[in-house]
Amino acid sequence: MADRSDYGDGTRCVHAGLPEPAPGQPFLPGPVFAAPYHLEPGPDVATGGYDGYARSGNPTRRNLETAIGELEGGACLTFSSGQAAITGLLLAVLRPGDTVMLPADGYFSVRKFAATTLANIGVTVQYVPTAGPYPGFDGVRLVLLETPANPGLDVCDITALATRAHAAGTLVAVDNTAATPLGQRPLDLGADIVVASGTKALTGHSDLLLGYLASRDPELLETVRGWRETTGAVPGPFDAWLAHRSLATLDLRLARHTANAEAVALALRARPDVADVRWPGLADDPSYAVASVQMRRIPGIVSFDLGDAGRVERFLKASRLVFAATSFGGLHTTADRRAQWGDDTEPGFVRLSCGVEDAADLVADITSALDSAGL
């Protein structure tokens, strides 16, 4: 693999995970749809690095993992979804009697999984807000940080927490879904593991499900790889190919996401009928001090409160450019009232994910829709 670490983000995204160019071959290797592969008929079962079954190895998936690994700065394993990656990590690493520390304000489905599956197998679960304060890590097997947190956008100091956790013998995992590896590199900041949903901004076209885990610890990776192979939580080769294709535009997409989020956040902040506007790129945001040092770019997610569910509904119906959707990080601007899914947010809390529309059009549309929605 060529060393591309000295290149800029855009160059690395375009070339990540690609084989050396060969005359007559496409820029991006084609998908391998096969599930079983031919084996040698005799005792020698060599299959060019694969054991005959795609659950264990697939060349299209391997190319994608190489690409994401280049961007995150570690070896990568992909999964069928972000939830599969996070739960796979937790089940592969934790044992009955262990203690895990999770973000109290993080992804709701992870907390639900912990309160049921982990608790039922004898794992003690502690919840801590992303912004802290954090208790001591003594006796904690793993701490999962989600920064920026989804959906509230609080940020924590990865380096400081990793230093404290490692002194207590605790593994540190960071959910990098909102930031992406172009927004922050947790492994460079001291984390042992990066875990993320690739469904969202990483691939950004709203056309696939994907999760991944990255680490520089070979033993840890082999533990999780064995768990993944046994359970079969792998992405299909076509999803892997779509994801690899999408990485080439990551730098361009994120630049527009960030610029649009800044414009939207400033417009919302100027309105007296919108409360609790959060975007870590605003100088007066509670997370700005840490985010401005730790993050290489701020994601395109803005959160705010419209007061009640009815006003959120009227806002979404009046908007022409903001689609109601529960995922984020795509080309289209979307908004989600998280409380409708059982998340413990206020009834009027909105998570808005900026797409790649023109900023002026987006601000004008949101402003018009809010005027129509009234108080």
Question: What does 45-105 look like in DSSP terms, one character per residue?
Answer: ---SS--SBTTT--HHHHHHHHHHHHHHTSEEEEESSHHHHHHHHHHHH--TT-EEEEETT
Is residue 4 situated within a structural domain? Answer: no
Instruction: Over range 179-197, report the average pLDDT.
Output: 98
Query: Do 122 and 265 share a domain, yes or no?
Result: no
What pLDDT shows up at residue 163?
98
Neighbours of 250 (CB within 10 A): 23
> Looking at the DSSP assignment, which residues form a beta bridge with residue 128?
103
Query: Do 216 and 284 share a domain, yes or no?
Result: no
Q: Read off the CATH number of the domain in which 43 is found.
A: 3.40.640.10
Distance between CA 48 and CA 1 in Å, rounded?
A: 18
Instruction: Over range 200-224, report the average pLDDT.
Output: 97
Is residue 17 situated within a structural domain? Answer: yes
Q: Above 60 in pLDDT, residue 9?
A: yes
Query: Do 52 and 160 share a domain, yes or no?
Result: yes
Of 274, 280, 272, the residue nearest 315 (C-alpha): 274
Distance between CA 89 and CA 93 in Å, rounded?
A: 6
Query: Do 177 and 280 share a domain, yes or no?
Result: no
Q: Read off the CATH number of the domain in which 338 is found.
A: 3.90.1150.10
Cα R_g (the chain), whole angstroms: 21
Query: Do 45 and 178 share a domain, yes or no?
Result: yes
Query: Do 234 and 95 share a domain, yes or no?
Result: yes
What pLDDT shows up at residue 45?
57
pTM of whole model > 0.85?
yes
Cis? peptide before 19, omega within 30° of 0: no
Query: Do 37 and 184 share a domain, yes or no?
Result: yes
Distance between CA 127 and CA 144 in Å, rounded?
A: 10
Last residue of a domain, one of 247, 271, 286: 247
What pLDDT shows up at residue 42?
65
**Out of 32-36, 226-230, 357-361, least confident range:** 32-36
What pLDDT shows up at residue 2?
66
What pLDDT shows up at residue 25?
83
Neighbours of 125 (CB within 10 A): 17
Query: Do 230 and 325 share a domain, yes or no?
Result: no
What pLDDT shows up at residue 44?
62
% of the chain residues with pLDDT over 90 = 84
Query: Do 225 and 268 share a domain, yes or no?
Result: no
Is residue 3 situated within a structural domain? Answer: no
**Out of 3-17, 232-246, 247-261, least confident range:** 3-17
Is residue 138 situated within a structural domain? Answer: yes
The per-residue pLDDT for range 290-308, each reduced to its tens digit, is 999 999 999 999 999 999 9
Strands, E assignment, the chain: 75-79, 99-103, 124-128, 142-146, 171-175, 193-197, 211-215, 275-278, 301-305, 323-324, 334-336, 349-353
Is residue 353 situated within a structural domain? Answer: yes
Instruction: Over range 119-129, report the average pLDDT.
Output: 97
Query: Which strand (E) or helix (H) includes residue 286?
Result: none
Query: Do 158 and 220 share a domain, yes or no?
Result: yes
Q: Above 80 in pLDDT, residue 187?
A: yes
Q: Which domain holds residue 259?
A: 251-373
Query: Do 155 and 289 share a domain, yes or no?
Result: no
Total structural domains within the chain: 2
Query: Do 241 and 266 share a domain, yes or no?
Result: no
What pLDDT shows up at residue 34?
74
What pLDDT shows up at residue 344?
80
What pLDDT shows up at residue 372?
95
Last residue of a domain, one of 247, 275, 304: 247
Is residue 1 situated within a structural domain? Answer: no
Question: pLDDT tier at 8 (50, 70, 90 boundaries)?
Answer: very high
Question: pLDDT tier at 91 (50, 70, 90 boundaries)?
Answer: very high
Question: pLDDT tier at 48 (50, 70, 90 boundaries)?
Answer: low
Q: Above 70 in pLDDT, residue 51?
A: no
Is residue 286 situated within a structural domain? Answer: yes
Is residue 208 situated within a structural domain? Answer: yes
Residues 6+ apart with CB under 8 A from 262: 279, 281, 298
Last residue of a domain, one of 200, 222, 247: 247
What pLDDT shows up at residue 47?
55
